[in-house]
Amino acid sequence: ELRRSKLHFHGHLFDPSISYRLTLATNTRTLAYSSESNVFIENAFIQKRFDNGMFFRLGQYKGPYLREEIVPSAYQLAVERSMVNHAFTYAWTQGLELGWDVAPFHLRAMYNDGPRQLNVGAYRTRMRSILARAELVLAGEHADFDTLTNKDADEFGLMLGAGFQWYMLKNSEREWVYANAEAERSLGFTVDLSMFDKGWTAFTYFVLGNGRNGALDLDQDTIGSWGWIGQGGVIVAENVQLYGRYEL
Return d(Cα 151, Cα 189) in angstroms, integer: 30
Handedness of CA 60, 64, 65, 66 (dihedral sign): positive
- Residue 39 has what pLDDT? 81
Instruction: Please measure the distance between the N-terminal and C-terminal CA atoms of the chain and give it in whole angstroms.
Output: 32
Worst-scoring range by mean pLDDT, 7-11, 152-156, 224-228? Answer: 152-156
- Residue 126 has what pLDDT? 76
Return d(Cα 167, Cα 148) in angstroms, integer: 28
Check pLDDT > 70 for residue 244.
yes
Percent of the chain whose pLDDT exceeds 90: 61
Give the residue from 41, 45, 34 showing the smallest Cα distance to 12. 45
How much is the average pLDDT of 157-184?
86
Q: What is the DSSP letter of 126?
A: -
- Residue 134 has what pLDDT? 98
Mean pLDDT, the chain, whole residue set: 88
Calculate the alpha carbon distances from 42 to 16, 25, 63 in Å: 22, 7, 12
How much is the average pLDDT of 176-202?
91
- Residue 153 has what pLDDT? 79
Higher pLDDT, residue 221 or 226:
226
Amino acid at 231: Q
Predicted confidence band of residue 242 (pLDDT cuts 50, 70, 90): very high
How much is the average pLDDT of 171-177?
70
- Residue 47 has what pLDDT? 96
Residue 163 near residue 64 (C-beta atoms within 8 A)? yes
Q: What are the DSSP E strand ranges found in 15-151?
A: 15-27, 39-49, 54-62, 92-102, 105-112, 127-139
Predicted confidence band of residue 109 (pLDDT cuts 50, 70, 90): very high
Half-sphere exposure of 45 (CA within 13 A, CB side): 20
Higher pLDDT, residue 219 or 148:
148
Cβ neighbours of 189 (radius 10 Å): 16
* Residue 159 β-bridge partners: 137, 194
Predicted confidence band of residue 74 (pLDDT cuts 50, 70, 90): confident
How much is the average pLDDT of 174-184?
82
Worst-scoring range by mean pLDDT, 161-165, 208-212, 226-230? Answer: 208-212
Predicted confidence band of residue 40 (pLDDT cuts 50, 70, 90): confident
pTM score:
0.87
Return d(Cα 83, Cα 90) in angstroms, integer: 13
- Residue 217 has what pLDDT? 66
Cβ neighbours of 103 (radius 10 Å): 10
- Residue 49 has what pLDDT? 95
Give the residue from 218, 123, 206, 198 showing the smallest Cα distance to 161. 206
How much is the average pLDDT of 37-63?
91
Return d(Cα 62, Cα 117) in angstroms, integer: 10
Tell me: cis bond preceding 64? Omega within 30 of 0 counts.
no
Worst-scoring range by mean pLDDT, 46-50, 112-116, 120-124? Answer: 120-124
